[in-house]
A and B are shown apart, each in its own frame.
Chain A
């Protein structure tokens, strides 16, 4: 079963605290998940200041600057993993270095069903 682990953190805490993870640690952890065969994809994201939000209403597209909602913690990156069950997914999520300063939302992937 696929799970998406969404890593949220205030962007300040992500880089400024003593326990904030360094890039090298994040790369090493992603490598270990890949080696375990559970990794489908993982990326870190640029700052939320670079975000652009796109909507389509009544066939018309609108573009706005910034994320879809202003929140205290921002989406900083994600892991898409393959895990046997929620417990296994939680084990992977708990070791993501940024979980020390932010939090990780674990969401099962819904398989779309063709009509």
Chain B
């Protein structure tokens, strides 16, 4: 086969296969059928394009070829099943229309696919697996490696999710204005979970897990293009601003480096500029939420020349707003740390102790680690030592444990 056409088909697969799939799911009303049709359409392209030339609009050709192949295959199976015969007739009579692959319709199909994969009637694990498989095109094996589970587990999650979509009839549609706020939540959460899975990965050696962050940012960009809601921009900004510190947050030995100790010349300025612009746009809309506020906090850090120049008063103010929107003990803890930076360690300790006295965060290692830091700054070594020990007893991740052990060892005799 002509190597030029072969590489062209490969390129088109990379850039178009997810779009073609999203449209085929709409036209065929079934995930499995659409995936088979997608496969058949590309197989036909490999055979026919060298002979007949590359069509003027490859995407439209793939959609219509996939659709006909699917109808054919249903028809072949239909010899034994009258319900299938009826289905084939219905599908054929529904005119796909010349616009089936038009830009606008296709982009809507991509949104339909995202909202269906992240439907709240599916479990969180299933939403993530399905989104990475169908929207991003990752293989089951790649998803399994990234989430440290077996490929069988991932495959099962995907099969069950598709069965629920079909049997409970989860519709293939973008929610209307009224439902959008509650339906956007799970979509953003899925994307952010994928991002964190990659970002918080303990070792830099595992490339697949870093790729997850890149994949989440790609998804965030796609969603921001398709649906430029303030919180979508806010989430994209948050991911970019966190990602901008990737090179600085872990030492060569794989140890965590605190924000205040990071070499800021290693921060990615392009990502920061893009993130800051997105935050400003989201904030100016006045309809922002928790992702935008977290991004705004990250932006204040990103814009400080060095740790000492950080505008802590502004950060405390942003946490105040965040507490009003999504009150939680963890947000309260972060606010307390910011207050400590603005007003001194005692002020922070009072706030953290109040949270612990309420019986909250007692098993959260970062609450004890924060207390230890503040005692250390007050040179109250015995209390710092006790708090670090408590944090260590609760911390699970290796990098975090190593970090806490080092801090503990560094305390004066």
B119 to chain A: which residues have CB within 8 Å?
Answer: 86
**Interchain CB contact under 8 A, A108 and B167:** yes
B207 within 8 A of A: no
A106 to chain B: which residues have CB within 8 Å?
Answer: 168
**Interchain CB contact under 8 A, B171 and A84:** yes
B8 within 8 A of A: no
B170 to chain A: which residues have CB within 8 Å?
Answer: 85-87
B173 to chain A: which residues have CB within 8 Å?
Answer: 87
A110 to chain B: which residues have CB within 8 Å?
Answer: 167
B184 to chain A, nearest CB (A): 15
Kindly report which residue of chain B lies nearest to residue A108, judged by CB atoms. B168
0/1 string, B80-92, CB within 8 A of A gives 1: 0000000000000
A interface SS class:
mixed
Contacts between the two chains (Cβ within 8 Å), count = 22
B169 to chain A: which residues have CB within 8 Å?
Answer: 1, 85-86, 108
B interface SS class:
loop
User: Roughly how many angstroms separate A84 CA and B121 CA in the complex, as a whole number?
Assistant: 16
Kindly report which residue of chain A lies nearest to residue B172, judged by CB atoms. A85
Kindly report which residue of chain B lies nearest to residue A88, judged by CB atoms. B171
User: Roughly how many angstroms separate A90 CA and B173 CA in the complex, as a whole number?
Assistant: 15
B117 to chain A, nearest CB (A): 14
A-contacting residues, B167-181, CB 8 Å: 167-171, 173, 175, 179
Number of interface residues of B (CB under 8 A): 10
User: Roughly how many angstroms separate A85 CA and B164 CA in the complex, as a whole number?
Assistant: 12
A87 to chain B: which residues have CB within 8 Å?
Answer: 170-171, 173, 175, 179
User: Roughly how many angstroms separate A86 CA and B171 CA in the complex, as a whole number?
Assistant: 7
Kindly report which residue of chain A lies nearest to residue B83, judged by CB atoms. A113
0/1 string, B148-189, CB within 8 A of A gives 1: 000000000000000000011111010100010000000000
**Interchain CB contact under 8 A, B167 and A85:** no
User: Roughly how many angstroms separate A9 CA and B283 CA in the complex, as a whole number?
Assistant: 41
B304 to chain A, nearest CB (A): 45
B179 to chain A: which residues have CB within 8 Å?
Answer: 87
Of B119, B168, B175, which is in contact with the most chain A CB atoms at under 10 Å from its CB?
A: B168
User: Roughly how many angstroms separate A110 CA and B169 CA in the complex, as a whole number?
Assistant: 12
User: Roughly how many angstroms separate A106 CA and B170 CA in the complex, as a whole number?
Assistant: 12
User: Roughly how many angstroms separate A1 CA and B179 CA in the complex, as a whole number?
Assistant: 21
B167 to chain A: which residues have CB within 8 Å?
Answer: 108, 110
B120 to chain A, nearest CB (A): 9
A111 to chain B, nearest CB (A): 11
A1 to chain B: which residues have CB within 8 Å?
Answer: 169
Of A1, A84, A87, A110, which is in contact with the most chain B CB atoms at under 10 Å from its CB?
A: A87
B-contacting residues, A1-55, CB 8 Å: 1
User: Roughly how many angstroms separate A85 CA and B169 CA in the complex, as a whole number?
Assistant: 5
Kindly report which residue of chain A lies nearest to residue B119, judged by CB atoms. A86
B-contacting residues, A70-115, CB 8 Å: 84-87, 90, 106, 108, 110
User: Roughly how many angstroms separate A110 CA and B166 CA in the complex, as a whole number?
Assistant: 12
Of B169, B171, B173, B179, which is in contact with the most chain A CB atoms at under 10 Å from its CB?
A: B169
Kindly report which residue of chain A lies nearest to residue B169, judged by CB atoms. A85
B177 to chain A, nearest CB (A): 14
Kindly report which residue of chain B lies nearest to residue A91, judged by CB atoms. B179
User: Roughly how many angstroms separate A108 CA and B169 CA in the complex, as a whole number?
Assistant: 8
User: Roughly how many angstroms separate A110 CA and B179 CA in the complex, as a whole number?
Assistant: 27
A86 to chain B: which residues have CB within 8 Å?
Answer: 119, 121, 168-171
B317 to chain A, nearest CB (A): 35
User: Roughly how many angstroms separate A109 CA and B22 CA in the complex, as a whole number?
Assistant: 27
Of A86, A90, A108, which is in contact with the most chain B CB atoms at under 10 Å from its CB?
A: A86
User: Roughly how many angstroms separate A98 CA and B169 CA in the complex, as a whole number?
Assistant: 25
User: Roughly how many angstroms separate A85 CA and B112 CA in the complex, as a whole number?
Assistant: 15
B62 to chain A, nearest CB (A): 28
User: Roughly how many angstroms separate A90 CA and B175 CA in the complex, as a whole number?
Assistant: 13
Kindly report which residue of chain B lies nearest to residue A3, judged by CB atoms. B168
User: Roughly how many angstroms separate A86 CA and B119 CA in the complex, as a whole number?
Assistant: 10
User: Roughly how many angstroms separate A23 CA and B181 CA in the complex, as a whole number?
Assistant: 32
User: Roughly how many angstroms separate A84 CA and B170 CA in the complex, as a whole number?
Assistant: 10
B121 to chain A: which residues have CB within 8 Å?
Answer: 86, 90
B134 to chain A, nearest CB (A): 18
User: Roughly how many angstroms separate A16 CA and B118 CA in the complex, as a whole number?
Assistant: 37
Which 7 A-B pairs have CB atoms at the shortest separation, nearest pair first? Answer: A85-B171, A85-B169, A108-B168, A86-B170, A86-B168, A87-B171, A1-B169
Q: A106-B168, A108-B167, A110-B167 are in contact. List 12 more A-B contacts (CB 8 A).
A: A84-B171, A85-B169, A85-B171, A86-B170, A86-B171, A87-B170, A87-B171, A87-B175, A87-B179, A90-B121, A108-B168, A108-B169
A interface, CB within 8 angstroms of B = 1, 84-87, 90, 106, 108, 110
B interface, CB within 8 angstroms of A = 119, 121, 167-171, 173, 175, 179
A–B Cβ pairs within 8 angstroms, 7 of them: A85-B171, A86-B119, A86-B121, A86-B170, A87-B175, A87-B179, A106-B168
